[in-house]
Amino acid sequence: MKKYSEGKDYRVIAYCISRFHRDEQRENIYYFQRLCSQYKCKAIVFSTLTDLYYDDMNDHGEKQIYSVFDVTAFDAVVIMSETFKKIRIDRTIADMAIAAGVPVISVNRRLEGCINIDFTYAQTFKMIVKHIVEDHGCRKVNYIGGDRISKFSRERFESYRSVLEENGIPFEKKRCGYGYFVGNAAVEVLNEFLKDEDLPEAIICANDTMAMDVCTRLKEVGLRVPEDIKVTGFDGIEFEKYHNPRLTTAAYVWEETTRTIFETLTDIWKGERVQELIMVPYKLQIGHSCGCENNHVMNPADKILELQDIHSSSSEYYQTMLNMNAESDSCEEFEQLLPIVEKFAGHIYYKEYWVCLNTFSYENMVNRIPEDMDELLNRVKRSEEKVYSGRMVAAYHSDAANTANSSNKPEVIERNELLPDLEGILEKEDMVMFLPMHLRGITIGYMAFTFEDKKFRPDLLNIFIMHFRNDIEGFWSRVIKEQLFSKDELTGLYNRRGFDRQKQKMFYGDKSCDNFTLISLDMDNLKKINDRYGHGEGDIALKQIGKIIDSVSERGEICARMGGDEFLIATANPRGKERAIEIQDAIHTKLGEYNLTSGKPYELWVSIGFFTGEKVEKIDYEIFASQADKEMYQDKQRNKRVEEAYNR
């Protein structure tokens, strides 16, 4: 496959990350988008809504987004590996790229065969401990770690022990505990420390969340920070800026990290040799919690107002989504659903979005072909094939700036094209984000977004995607339920109830139908087949008649078994009589072909009559039914005379 950048003055990067809506990931994406134009690059982001931690049915559907693209079309692949938790999809993506000879950069987790960009966690954590021990002269230094097994937790514990050893301070087990990176567990460890009369001079915490809760608990028991006990954290989270005292901690510098990614790729594309491991400094941030700089504490009221605004807008958007769900529940056709969804999407501040579905998913939705969800799920799990079809249907395009440009005209594209006119999209946009669409883990397609980097609300997009999925699943559930009540179990055609419901749509409520044709069909000699060969054989015959009727109908034509041996076809085709004769001839032809090859001791035939008209009112339907039946019975009488003459 040719590269997306072929003949262009830019390079195209596949940027793989999980949980795009989390603050840290949002910052990653923000800086990547900002630097794309500076380095003459375009980024196609592939992300999930989860971090793939649970490896459950939902995660199965989420992770498939990383199988939708062909790595050979990209100039490089960047994987934010640490964002992937239990399911190691990062290794899978890296292996595909390596096999294709595409450069791969893994960030924050070292993967063999890749260029790895990592952070100086251990060195910087050690600097914090040294600052407490050597600069402040503390000898009684306690430690609250994360867990006992993770790489990060082990590194931080070893850094703590090594500083003690280097300064001749004996390690005491009683001075260590594990808070599992959460505040309440860290406070439980602190309470154990406080039971000892030999209180610590300082407490080293493995992250900021634990450090801030430790500070709060110390104040509650009358101990001052830093005067009585010094406290340090790690990670440099956003809320630390509003904590009093400001923590001595360390933090990512994402802009520097992103710049390192682009500089490294630039060197690779120039053919220069690059290191397999590039370390980015984890920035030491000296605060007042250790007794040093009395850093400016940002006004918590400002943050409260900001969070309140975010919470308020999120709550309002949830209500907006409930309104979308309610309106979507009234949709009887899939094509009605997509424009309704667009009405409620604006709050996320997107520029354009596309809904792309697997061809079989789209056909099932539009043609209302039911399939049991549980069986389909099992089939997906058993399948060794890719869950995205070779061709996709771009079912909807929304343009936020000009809704007149929005379109629900389906367009079939090759899967590796990703979007209609992707080339044109990349000419005007630096970044496009792809997110998975699935129902209970069953992949049905994906959505793609372009967005404004400053106004974009990934948190609301996350809410939007989840509710949109619910709307599609709700539609699909209604289709399945309708099939149970509206379809004839034997033939798969509509039953009387289903026919009446579909017929109402032709008349658009109380309006007239511009062209209406009703075709009445009655199977010949069903009673003779039942009497001679049994009702089971009669059912086979009826089923074959239904199959032939369905095969000759076009989309929009209503085919039904009204009971026994009676069938109806209703059509609004403007060709009226011509179309009715066409259907009649096609049915007779297919029946003749069946009779020649079926090997049955009987032949299948039907009697057919029809009636057609223009500007037909709903109230006129009974007249049409009566006239079509009359024509059908006349045909049946002709068929009987022919049969009797033949038998003589």
Mean pLDDT of 359-380: 67
For the cut 90, the answer to whether the pLDDT of residue 301 exceeds it is: no
For the cut 50, the answer to whether the pLDDT of residue 464 exceeds it is: yes
- Please state which of the four CATH numbers 3.30.70.920, 3.20.20.140, 3.40.50.2300, 3.40.190.10 is assigned to the domain occupying 121-253+284-298: 3.40.50.2300
- Tens digit of each residue's pLDDT (9 = 90 or more) over 591-608: 999 999 999 999 999 999
For the cut 50, the answer to whether the pLDDT of residue 380 exceeds it is: no
- Tens digit of each residue's pLDDT (9 = 90 or more) over 226-269: 999 999 999 999 889 999 999 999 998 899 999 999 999 999 99
DSSP symbols for 241-263: GGSSSPPBEEE--HHHHHHHHHH
Pairing of β 431-439 and β 41-46: parallel
For the cut 80, the answer to whether the pLDDT of residue 164 exceeds it is: yes
pLDDT, position 648: 47
In what helix (H) or strand (E) does residue 539 lie, and over which residues does it extend?
A: helix 535-552
pLDDT, position 384: 38
Tell me, yes or no, if the pTM score tops 0.85.
Answer: no
Map out the domains of the chain as residue ranges.
Answer: 11-119, 121-253+284-298, 309-350+357-409+454-483, 496-647
SS3 86: coil
CATH fold match for the domains 11-119 and 121-253+284-298: yes
Report how far residue 204's alpha carbon sits from residue 207's, in angstroms, rounded to the nearest whole number.
Answer: 9
Tracing tokens 């406080």 back to the chain, one arrives at 194
Report how far residue 396's alpha carbon sits from residue 445's, in angstroms, rounded to the nearest whole number.
Answer: 12
Report how far residue 69's alpha carbon sits from residue 64's, in angstroms, rounded to the nearest whole number.
Answer: 10
pLDDT, position 297: 74
For the cut 50, the answer to whether the pLDDT of residue 457 exceeds it is: yes
- Tens digit of each residue's pLDDT (9 = 90 or more) over 50-80: 999 998 989 989 999 999 999 999 999 999 9
Which CATH code for domain 496-647? 3.30.70.270
DSSP code for 227: T
Report helix angle 526-533 to 535-552, nearest 10.
Answer: 140
Tracing tokens 């209609």 back to the chain, one arrives at 420
pLDDT, position 646: 47
For the cut 60, the answer to whether the pLDDT of residue 151 exceeds it is: yes
CATH topology of domain 11-119: Rossmann fold (3.40.50)
Q: What percent of the chain has pLDDT over 70?
A: 94
pLDDT, position 371: 56
Q: Answer positive or negative: Cα dihedral of 479, 481, 482, 484.
A: positive
Among 580, 348, 596, which Cα is nearest to 463's? Answer: 348
Mean pLDDT of 550-567: 94
With bands split at pLDDT 50, 70 and 90, how would you rate the model's confidence at 302? confident
Instruction: Report the half-sphere exposure of 603 (CA within 13 A, side-chain side).
Output: 11
